[in-house]
Amino acid sequence: MKRAFLAVLLLVAASGVNALELDGAKSQLKVTSIKNDRVAELFSFSEVSGSLNEDSGEALIIVALDSIDSGIDIRDQRMKKYLFNTDRYKTAEFRARVDVQALRSLTPGEPRSMRLSGELSISGKTLPIHFATQVTKLSGGAISVITVEPAFIDSNAVEMAPGIEKLRSLAGLKNINLSVPVTFAVQFH
């Protein structure tokens, strides 16, 4: 994960553009799993990094897949091995373009609804994904981006359904939903 973070910093520094860095301590990404048709469980990732280019509007969020935290160690280990294959795929990335004019016109404390359309790359697959967000300029020029409704990832589209089936079998469950809701709250400084 440190390599991904350093790569983002080097790209930002080398480009000479006006870029903000994602504050991992003030950012979170969450996914929800629904098992046996009625039990929902919320998982998070403890290592999130990225950048927001204020000139081009290019946004990048990088998630260290081995930082999954479900609150149960054995489940975390199984997700790393069977779902994310973290020996081969270390990160997931979301790339999007933010409306630069709307970003520049924000005054501190003013929230604005923005739709972020981009691409999610995970497990060697890339798919389009859209988030309804609220973007707020904070004091000191920081930017907060919070989803106002989840986006849904189809596990079949990223070929993760076999991993979910393996997790279902190991846990002795009747089913685990293949549509996964994702939300995030991130800050760029």
97: DSSP letter: E
What was the pLDDT predicted at 59? 94
Contact of 45 with 68, CB cutoff 8 Å: yes
pLDDT higher than threshold 70 for residue 123: yes
97: pLDDT confidence band, cut at 50, 70 and 90? very high
**Each residue's pLDDT tens digit, 4-27:** 544 444 444 444 457 899 999 999
State how far the Cα of 139 lies from the Cα of 24, in Å rounded to an integer: 18
Residue 111 pairs with which residues in a beta bridge? Answer: 136
**Each residue's pLDDT tens digit, 77-93:** 999 999 999 999 999 99
State how far the Cα of 177 lies from the Cα of 158, in Å rounded to an integer: 14
At residue 182, the 3 state secondary structure works out as: strand
What global pTM score does this model have?
Answer: 0.87
